[in-house]
Chains A and B, each alone.
Chain A
Amino acid sequence: MSEKIYALLLRLYPSHFRVSYGEAALQLFRDRARDEKGFFPTVRLWLDLLADLAISVPREYRHVPQALLAASASRRLGGAPSFFVLEDESPRPGAFFFGGALTLLAVAGFSIGINHAGSYAGKVAIWSGEPASRAANSSPGVATSSPFESRWRAMLERLGICQPRAWQMKPADADRAMNSAAGAAMKPDTAQRRLVIDGAIANVKAHYVDRDVAQKVAEALRAHEKNGDDDAATDGTAFADLLTRQMREVSHDMHLMMVYSQAKIPDRQPEPAPEELARYRTAMEQGNCTFKKVEILPHNIGYLKLNSFPDPSVCQSTATAAMASLNRADAVIFDLRDNTGGYPQMVVLIASYLFDHPEYFYNPREETTRRSWTASPVPGNKLADKPVYVLTSSSTFSGAEQFSYDLKMLKRATLVGETARGGAHAGVFHRIDDHFGVGIPETKAINPFSTADWAGVGVEPDGKVKAADALKAAQKLAENNLRKK
């Protein structure tokens, strides 16, 4: 038995060594095994052998057999390069088999790797992209907001759970998740419910922004479980909704929620792949970073139609150029009617041109940091004291709403158009098991303007007109304003 084991270990040595000394090594092992009987000698023998393997196997692989060294390329027949046969035997059939299998595996692994590379998920915080309803009839052109937004993300967005740290699924998974979310049929049993409730409690306690409330939520979930209130749930979706209601009853936080997905929720978020970033970059470059129109309207009114707030690391120069070309305008109209959000850094970057001192820019999804202030004054900028108008529609969403809301609250802009869509907060999604997850608000940014922001209700315009008429209305307002001066 032990001899067989050692014979197997000998296969670790390169073939030239095995051919020359394999049998002798085995014989030495037999000799020692025969002479060193008993427990301790046997242990010592094996320790010796393992140490020997560890030392000599690598050395053997570094060693070049003399035959190879002898075969130098300088030996030629009549000046022509020639090859020498070093091995007399052809390789074993087994070697061909393993070689073939290994090659197939490598090729398959490579192609699988390419297909399953994670989607680009943005770097810090992507404001919601496309809401699901808009995904179908999105406006023409590239990238209404982010070309890599998945439908899964859109679903979470619709549910009010979208993470600041972008959280994505492969499109195929997302499709399944979307399709199955409606037709959930599984009835969770007591044990499964217990697991989900335990997971929810653990996550809420660990991540919820307010510890006291987290404790209350945990107690409420337990109490309902004990009272048998959860027995009413007939399927996963109903159970998730029930837990959501229970959590909201005590927390009064509309962003705390339970999610059920019949399709498996992936257990980690894929890393953004470089090619996704490259694709985003190309799309942005081709689409002028969603700066759709930059022009000077009659009466020297600057007009910027911006359909998203793109990643500044890709689009900063485009943004700077656009703002520079509006620099001599007497008033500026920001057209955000088709803007569905993007990167908060870009929101702050553009807002920086509208102030002559750093101004706090409230963002409900992020902790207050240095980046929450505008980088004002911008050198050479003349727009800091010019009237600003922002056009909104019922599609204006998320990051675009932040831009509108903050400028309105700072009394820096007049909003014209329709009430915006109302996407502000987001919880961070925490996976509990393959089918359940819980969305938990983890941050609480300081809102200096009001206790409530635009979550769920949208940003109200100052001048309420139909989105289609908003540009004309804003132009009229601007002209009147300029005439007064």
Chain B
Amino acid sequence: MPKRKLDPLPSAAFQILLSLAAEDLHGYGIMRQVAEQTGGRMRLGPGTLYSSIQSLLEGKFIEEVDVRGDAKLGHERRRYYRLTAAGRKLARSEADRLAGWLRVARAKKILRGDYV
């Protein structure tokens, strides 16, 4: 059986990395942050979310920081995740890659205007 691959980086994993860029979040927090930063286009289901988290953890791109309650969400204890240095690097290289495609698209006049 093949090991789960993060190469190429699935967009779910990329969004999770991005969501953790500013602050440590628990699973539901990540889901909401991803929904927010994608304009509601990507709502991560539990299966996709946690399997992505699992691969990112295995690749040491994120890490579990602590288990604590969320003041806004009652007293259930949650696992929080934090972006590691490797994770930040991975997210940056992915963003660079996308930016590269964007330049190509712009050069081919696919994008109208200059708003991106």
Contacts and interface: CB of A to CB of B under 8 A. Distances in A.
A144 B11 CA distance: 73
Contacts, number: 74
Given A25-B46, A55-B48, A31 B54 contact: no
Contacts of B50: 17, 20-21, 24-25
A52 B55 CA distance: 17
Nearest to A60: B51
Contact of B46 (A52, A59, A66): A52
Interface stretch (B14-22, B71-79, B83-91): B71-79
Given A28-B27, A51-B45, A53-B47, A63 B1 contact: yes
A481 interface: no
Nearest to A31: B28
B49 interface: yes
A51 B58 CA distance: 25
Interface in B5-62: 27-28, 31, 43-51, 53-55, 58
Interface in A24-63: 24-29, 31-32, 48-49, 51-53, 55-57, 59-60, 62-63
A13 B2 CA distance: 18
Contacts of A80: none
Contacts of A63: 1, 3-4, 51, 54-55
A86 to B, nearest CB: 14
Interface string B72-108: 0100101100000000000000000000000000000
B89 to A, nearest CB: 22
Given A20-B54, A63-B51, A66-B58, A52 B45 contact: yes
B45 A49 contact: yes
A13 B49 CA distance: 14
Contacts of A27: 27-28, 76, 78
A219 to B, nearest CB: 65
Name the residue in A24, A57, A62 with the highest tally of chain B Cβ atoms < 10 Å from its Cβ.
A24
A63 B4 CA distance: 6
Contact of A29 (B46, B48, B78): B46
Given A26-B46, A27-B28, 5 more contacts: A28-B28, A32-B31, A52-B45, A62-B1, A62-B4
15 contacts: A13-B47, A17-B51, A20-B50, A21-B50, A21-B54, A25-B27, A27-B78, A31-B73, A32-B28, A48-B43, A49-B46, A52-B46, A55-B48, A60-B51, A63-B55
